[in-house]
Amino acid sequence: LAYKLATKLGTWGKAKGNIGISSGGGPGIMEAVNRGAHDGGCKSVGMGISLPFEQHNNEYVSPELDFEFHYFFTRKYWCVYLSKAYVIMPGGVGTLDELCEILTLIQTKKMKTCPIVLLNSEFWNNAINFDYMIKYGTISQSDKDALFITDSIDHAYNHITNNIRLDD
């Protein structure tokens, strides 16, 4: 899913001009994103983190956009700062941290609303019970409404390309 969506968005991004696609730069889903962007013909940013078990970014990162960070907070800042849309794949604590950071920045008006796609509805609907959080009063309906949960590459692509604001 990550590869297919990144390829489709990469082709769109190349046609739009100077638009790139970014990932953490590592293996697995991150490599699929960078490879999809590369195969779609757009620049591919890799924002790696120096960890004992990941020694370098994957080969599909554009060489001039291959970054490695020492601290997670610095990496997270740069991952969010220039992005105009987010696609969040199933992941662990780091993924949840990044998703919650984006939602908090939007919720507190430190960042403008932008497309946030959670790909793989079974995972997200079981991993986080947003409806219970609304019922409990810890988030509002508008926080949940900021998320677009889908299994469809086409729906994700259409949501992003129809809602992205490139001039902000």
The answer, yes or no, to whether residue 89 has pLDDT greater than 70, is yes
pLDDT over threshold 70, residue 25: yes
The per-residue pLDDT of the chain, averaged, comes to 92
- Between residues 151 and 55, which one has the greater pLDDT? 151
- What 3 state SS string does the chain have? CHHHHHHHHHHHHHHHCCCEEEECCCCCHHHHHHHHHHHHCCEEEEEEECECCECCCCCCCCHHHEEEECCHHHHHHHHHHCCCCEEECCCCHHHHHHHHHHHHHHHCCCCCCCCEEEECHHHHHHHCCHHHHHHHCCCCHHHHHCEEEECCHHHHHHHHHHHCCCCC
What percent of the chain lies above the pLDDT cut of 90? 76
Average pLDDT over residues 28-48: 93
pLDDT of residue 155: 98
